[in-house]
Structures are given as C-alpha cells and as structure tokens.
Structure 1
Amino acid sequence: MYESFYGFKSKPFQLNPDPTFYYGSRGHRRAMAYLEYGLHQSEGFIVITGDVGAGKTTLVRSLLQRLDSAKVVAAHLVSTQIDADDILRLVAASFGLPAKNVEKADLLLQLEAFLVKLTAGGKRALLIVDEAQNLTPRAVEELRMLSNFQLEDHALLQSFLVGQPEFRQTMQSEHMQQLRQRVIASYHLGPLDLAETRAYVEHRLGCVGWKTDPRFEPSAFDVIHAASGGIPRRINTLCDRVLLAGFLAEKHAVSATDVDDVVTEMRDESGSESVATRSGGAGINLASAGALSGLLGDPALAQRFAEIGAGYQASRLEVRIEQVERVLGALLGMAQERGASPNDDLRAEGRQGA
C-alpha cells in the first residue's frame, strides 16, 4: 500500500521470518557463532533461546541458507505440542523417511540406517527443532536418545534446540541431567539496544531500496526502541504502522511525534481489545445492573456505574483488572456503609465480569 509511495520494492517490515532480511546484531552474530560451532563439533546439542519475536526463526533460516547441501542434510522441525509418541515420526518424516503406521522399533532402525548411510557417504545430518518449549519432557528424552546413534566414534546426528526462555527451565529440571551433559553450547538471544534498533530499521529499509524517503529523525528511533523494547517483531509491527500513517498523511519525514502518535493509537486499540475480551464486548460489565442495584440498594448509582463502563469502552481507554477491582471495592464499601449485606456470590460475579 505504502510501498509505491515511498519507492520500495516490497514491504520492509513483514512479520514472516525471511532470511533475506537477516540483521546480524551483536546478539544474533553470537548466536550464529554458537550454531556454527555446533556444526564444527558434529555432536551433542546446541540450545538457543529468546523471547517471542526475538528473531530465532530468522536466525535458523539464515543458517539453513548458508549450509552446503552436499555436506549437510538438514531437517527443520517446527514443533507444537508434541509428545514422545509423535516426535520420532516427525523426525523421520523431516528427513524424508516413511513414518506412518511404523512401529517405534522399526522407526529407530530406519533412522539409524539412514544416518549411517549419510555418514558413509561423507555427509552429516542436522536436526533443528524450533519452538522447543512446546516439547514434553518425554519428547525431549526421545531426542536425547537419538544422539546415542554412533558409527565407531562419530556421532551420527547433530541437534539444535531453539525455543522460548521457558525451555531453559525445562532443561534445569532434575530428569534432564543427561540432556544437559550433551549440551555443548547454550545462548540466550536478548533484545536490540538503541543503536542496534536504528541499524535494524535502516537495514530492513535498505533491503527494499530505501533512499532516505521517508527520512527518519534521530529522535524517532528513541521512541521506536522504547515502545518495542528492542524486540525485532515488535519493531516490525510498529514501523509498518508508522509507514502506513506516513503514507496516509503524505509525509516524507518521520518524527518522534509521528511514532508516538502511532504508539498511542496501537495502545488504544490494544486497550479496547483487552476490555472487550475481559467483559465479553460489553464495556466494563462488573455485574448486571440488577445485581448492582441489589448490592448497593441504589438503582440510579448502579446505572451510573454501567454508563461509566460503557464510556470507557467508547473512548477506547486502557482499563486494567486491578483498577476495576479497586472501583468494585469502593462500591462494596459504600454498600456496607448503607447497611447492605452483599454476599460472596455477588462479589465473585463482579470479579468474573471484570
């Protein structure tokens, strides 16, 4: 939409992981070095973790592009909630082996024979498991067992486990001791700093033919970094909206105020959605008007409270649960002062409505 207005070849801030946009920040270069070190070692596990949107998948896809297919046969497995019964089948299928309706023992024999054949032919097998935090402990244990496959003194399979920070907690559990002994390197991918955020934005713009149109004022990057926390996916989402807003306003410069306006707009949208989600789309509906009338003994006050809730929704203000509970607490105090006796069911109804 805004691409032609600014002379871009394509969208610079798409959300789909695309290795052609890979930006080697200090953290990403270090994570890549760990992966390449793992390839050089040809054994054990490399573990890479990072927050949602930190660029883990883009990192992995960039690595896959660099691999020499004549030397390394790679399988990229994106897991969901996979248990031990399915993980081996998915691994086999990722390497192109038949896995449907195959017994576990036969599946292991097929995998071992395939890996031995690769090694004998001068190639190596690499298994990359993305979203590893969704694996059950039993599934992780099955992956560890695959690392036992050897030909003489050479490991037949190299594995990279990539996931969100909670996977590190999984690894620290008592029954993961044997896996931890097989991990030869581990790295956590953190957010970009301010300078890297600016370089990241300019890098992605450069990938689509940016020639300083629009021009980003230096202070704009301060707001982008503060609002996104240096997380690449959040930067993409914000900058895409900034460019759209600039196109709609026919602007060729992006200021801190422009970015801040978009941040405010996105926060308002998020607040509106969160209110609708918590209240079933009916504003701040702590309880029905009838329940509040009985609680307070004052139908007019209950109606006024309902109107205030509707007003919050109409103005798309962000309302947090704790704020709502404080309001409810004040109303309950008023009811007690009037001699009413609100019961626990009505209290619970109020919190559930929030």
Structure 2
Amino acid sequence: MFDDFYGLQARPFQLTPDPAFYFESLTHRKALSYLGYGLAQGEGFVVITGEVGAGKSTLVAYLMATIDPAQMTVANVVTSALDGDEIVHVVAQAFGLQVAGHDKASALGAIEAFLHEEARAGRRCLLVVDEAQNLSVSALEELRMLSNFQLGSQPLLQTLLLGQPEFRETLLQSEQLEQLRQRVIATHHLAAMQPDEVQAYIEHRLTCAGWKGRPGFDPAVFAEIYKISGGIPRRINQIVNRLLLLGAVDQRTRIDGAMVGQVLDELEDDGAASLVSPPHDIGNEPVVLADVAQPVEGRRL
C-alpha cells in the first residue's frame, strides 16, 4: 500500500533477507572481512554470531551472491534441534544427495563420494549452517568429523556456522567442543549498528527501492528509532514499515516524532512492542538501549 503512495518500486523494509538491500555498517564490514579471510583459507570453520535480526542471513546472502558456482558448491541448512545422526542426513539432503536407507554410514559415504567428485571437478564445497545454537553437541561433533574428509592433503569441506550469542558461549565454554574450537579459523560477533548509522541505513534501503525523497523524515526520528530498536536492523525495519504504512493512511509526506509515538502506541496495543525493542521497557533512558549488543572484535578462537 505505502509503496504505491510513496512511489517506491519495491518493499524496502521487508523482513526476509535480500542481498540487494545489503547495507555495510561498521560491524557488517568487519564481519565481511572475517568471512572473506576465512573462506580464502578453504578449510575449517568460520563462525558468525549476532542477536536475532542483526543481519547474519543478509550478510551471508550478500556474500553468496558474489560466489561463482563454477568454483564453489554451497549447501544451506537451517537447523532445528538435531542430533548427530540427523545432521548427517540433513547435510546430505542439502547437497542434493539421495541416500538409500536411513543409516548414518550410507549418508556419510554419499557425502564423502560427492565431495571427492566436486574436488576432482575443481570445485570447493561450503556448508552454511544457520541457527547453529539449536544443534546438539553430538551434531556439532559430526560436523567436525565431516571437516576431516580430504583428497590427498586438500580439505574437501568448509563450514560456516551462523548463530545467536548463546552459540558463541557454547563454543567457547564446552569441554566437549575443544577439537571443534581448534578448527575455527575466523569468528566475528555481529553487533548492533551505531546511532549515526541508522539514518544512512534507512535512506539506503529506501533508495534501493526507488525513493526520491518522499516521504521526508524529521532528523529526530532517526534518534528515536535507534533508541527504540537498539540499532538492530530487523527491529528498525519493523518500525519503519509501520511508519510508512501510517504515513500512507494519513496521506503524510513527512515522518515526524509524533508518528513514531503513535506507532509505538499501536504496537503496545497489538502486543507487538517486544518485536521492535530490546528486552527493556520502551521509554528507558537512551544509554540503556545503546548498551544492547555492544561490538565484540572478531578474533581467532
């Protein structure tokens, strides 16, 4: 509705990841550097963590769009609570393999044969595992075992693990994952955007959708959105979506602070306020919200 009213050619604040709208904030730039370094090594594990909605999937989608399928075969897995046997079958399916029977040995054999075929054809293989915090320790150990497959001295599989902050803690603290930790070659925690990046983020996504300056935004709106959202991209998207919808309904060509307050009231009434704010009450002092998801430098584990 609002896209027609404002003359937009796409939905600029959709919640599903779209690499066409990728915005390189400081934390995303760092994450992309670590990803690039890790993938260049061609082995082991690369770990990216971040709050829900921080942009992990969008970052990876942007990176995947730059990969030549003639050089690399990529399989994507979004995990639920899987054990060791289950993850092996899920990985086989992600690479498009048909496994006769349901035993783990058959699945492992199919994966190894496939990885050998890809290597002989000159292609590397990358496994992207999203929501890695849902995996059991046994499933993570099976992923480590898959990283042992080699053709001569050439590793056959590299794995990118994406997870929420608790996955980072599990990986760092679990005594059972020491061998996996030793295989991690790069890691980065995707933090919230900085206050001065919110305006650029919103305007970037609008511009990607054909924005010509309509609607305009009062400068104070961006500070309010940061205070509410804590700088998390998906929360920002939800707020701005509601603002644009309200603006279209009320035939407004400029978004102001009063409209932000009205949107917050509506979200409270709908019971959806928690979707756009960190786990603090709306109305807390800005410093509290700004402390959500402080940057953590990427480093080797």
| Superposed CA offset, 1:11-61 (max 9, x none) | 211111111111111111111111111111001100000000001111111
Residue 123 of structure 2 is matched in structure 1 by 123
Residue 109 of structure 1 is matched in structure 2 by 109
Q: In 2, are the aligned partners of 1:54 and 1:232 still within 8 Å (CA)?
A: yes
| Superposed CA offset, 1:180-226 (max 9, x none) | 00001111000011121111100110111101100011111010111
Residue 154 of structure 1 is matched in structure 2 by 154
1:127-206 superposed matches below 5 A: 127-171=127-171, 172-206=173-207
Q: In 1, are the aligned partners of 2:264 and 2:273 still within 8 Å (CA)?
A: no
After TM superposition, which residue ranges in structure 1, 4 or more long, deviate above 4 angstroms? none
Q: In structure 2, what residue type is equivalent to 1:44?
A: G
1:322-341 superposed matches below 5 A: none
Residue 21 of structure 1 is matched in structure 2 by 21
Measured in 2, the distance between the counterparts of 1:80 and 1:230 equals 27
1:254-273 superposed matches below 5 A: 254-270=255-271
Higher percent of residues as helix: 1
Measured in 2, the distance between the counterparts of 1:73 and 1:262 equals 44
Measured in 2, the distance between the counterparts of 1:151 and 1:32 equals 29
Measured in 1, the distance between the counterparts of 2:31 and 2:273 equals 38
Q: In 2, are the aligned partners of 1:137 and 1:170 still within 8 Å (CA)?
A: no
Q: In structure 1, what residue type is equivalent to 2:39?
A: L
Q: Is the alpha carbon distance of 1:26 and 1:253 closer, same or farther for their aligned partners in structure 2, counting shifts above 3 Å?
A: same
Q: In 1, are the aligned partners of 2:27 and 2:190 still within 8 Å (CA)?
A: yes
Measured in 2, the distance between the counterparts of 1:4 and 1:249 equals 14
Measured in 1, the distance between the counterparts of 2:184 and 2:154 equals 16
| Superposed CA offset, 1:87-119 (max 9, x none) | 011111111111352422222122111111111
| Superposed CA offset, 1:268-324 (max 9, x none) | 332899xxxxxxxxxxxxxxxxxxxxxxxxxxxxxxxxxxxxxxxxxxxx9xxxxxx
Q: In 1, are the aligned partners of 2:88 and 2:142 still within 8 Å (CA)?
A: yes
| Superposed CA offset, 1:215-256 (max 9, x none) | 011111010111111011100100000011111111101112
Measured in 2, the distance between the counterparts of 1:151 and 1:269 equals 56
1:213-232 superposed matches below 5 A: 213-232=214-233
SS in structure 1 of the partner of residue 65 of structure 2? helix
Residue 243 of structure 1 is matched in structure 2 by 244
TM-score (structure 2 length as normaliser): 0.88
Deviation of the 1:260 alpha carbon: 2.3
Superposition RMSD on alpha carbons, in Å?
1.6
Measured in 2, the distance between the counterparts of 1:110 and 1:134 equals 25
Q: In structure 2, what residue type is equivalent to 1:151?
A: L
SS in structure 2 of the partner of residue 66 of structure 1? coil
Q: In 1, are the aligned partners of 2:267 and 2:273 still within 8 Å (CA)?
A: no
Q: In structure 1, what residue type is equivalent to 2:89?
A: R
Deviation of the 1:85 alpha carbon: 1.6
| Superposed CA offset, 1:55-102 (max 9, x none) | 111111111111110100000111111111210111111111113524
Measured in 2, the distance between the counterparts of 1:272 and 1:104 equals 45
Q: Is the alpha carbon distance of 1:41 and 1:112 closer, same or farther for their aligned partners in structure 2, counting shifts above 3 Å?
A: same
Q: In structure 1, what residue type is equivalent to 2:179?
A: Q
Measured in 2, the distance between the counterparts of 1:101 and 1:256 equals 61
Q: In structure 1, what residue type is equivalent to 2:135?
A: L
Residue 67 of structure 1 is matched in structure 2 by 67
| Superposed CA offset, 1:314-345 (max 9, x none) | xxxx9xxxxxxxxxxxxxxxxxxxxxxxxxxx
Q: Is the alpha carbon distance of 1:44 and 1:121 closer, same or farther for their aligned partners in structure 2, counting shifts above 3 Å?
A: same
Q: In 2, are the aligned partners of 1:19 and 1:62 still within 8 Å (CA)?
A: yes
Q: In 2, are the aligned partners of 1:77 and 1:91 still within 8 Å (CA)?
A: yes
Q: In 2, are the aligned partners of 1:215 and 1:252 still within 8 Å (CA)?
A: yes
Question: Which stretches in structure 1 are left out of the alignment for 5+ residues?
Answer: 274-317, 319-354
Measured in 2, the distance between the counterparts of 1:121 and 1:196 equals 44
Q: Is the alpha carbon distance of 1:100 and 1:8 closer, same or farther for their aligned partners in structure 2, counting shifts above 3 Å?
A: farther
Measured in 2, the distance between the counterparts of 1:265 and 1:227 equals 14
Q: Which structure has more RCO (C-alpha within 8 Å, separation ≥ 6)?
A: 2
Measured in 2, the distance between the counterparts of 1:98 and 1:196 equals 46
Please say which structure displays the higher CA radius of gyration: 1
Q: Is the alpha carbon distance of 1:21 and 1:141 closer, same or farther for their aligned partners in structure 2, counting shifts above 3 Å?
A: same
SS in structure 1 of the partner of residue 182 of structure 2? helix
